[in-house]
A and B are shown apart, each in its own frame.
Chain A
């Protein structure tokens, strides 16, 4: 099973709302990632979790708050977003062995619209 699932598929939220994006994988991967992709642009890395600990934060605004409650789940909590945060949010996972490089498996993404 090489599947990464993301919920919801689509989300519309107001600027004062609080919402969460969820990501799940059952491949035994111990690294999980959040990417943001604006229309017609490549994905941009936001956060990396390794063994459930935040290892990379690409200077993401605090209105995005990641959480990794266990090795299979990754959440992205959203609060006080701006319309320019509207994008496709992608989750990915990969192995972590000896700090080497492994392929990442991506979910289908959550299409977020901030009104």
Chain B
């Protein structure tokens, strides 16, 4: 079973920041937080991951709380092409367990 809880859906205005929350209260000390997204009818796409510290790359920022029980994925300037299902996964090793994810709809 997935070890994360995400809201089923969110809306975001184009050009605004999209903040996607994830709860992972049972995360173990060596487990990473991963974010993937899946645009309709495509394979999942890796976005970002982190262990304890906040992380940023060209796609997004990942904010992990100090107790590691929750995190937020931030897309700083959402575009229509960011409409997708976003999956938050806690993982160590090579066995990904996907939950239901959050459907993000970016609207003009």
The answer to whether A and B assemble together is: yes
Interface residues of A (CB under 8 A from B): 4, 31, 33, 42-45, 48, 50, 55-56, 88, 90, 92, 94, 96, 99-109
Cβ contacts A to B, 19 pairs, < 8 Å: A33-B94, A42-B87, A42-B99, A43-B38, A48-B95, A55-B94, A90-B44, A92-B43, A101-B31, A101-B49, A101-B94, A102-B94, A103-B34, A103-B46, A104-B96, A105-B46, A106-B46, A107-B43, A109-B42
Give complex CA distance A96, B95 in Å. 12
Given contacts A4-B43, A109-B43, list 11 more A-B pairs with CB under 8 A: A43-B44, A43-B98, A45-B95, A45-B96, A48-B95, A55-B94, A94-B94, A100-B93, A101-B31, A103-B34, A108-B43
For the residues of B in contact with A, the DSSP-based class is: loop
Residues of A within 8 A of B31 (CB): 101
State whether the Cβ of B91 lies closer than 8 Å to any Cβ in chain A: yes
Residues of A within 8 A of B41 (CB): 88
Residues of B within 8 A of A90 (CB): 43-44
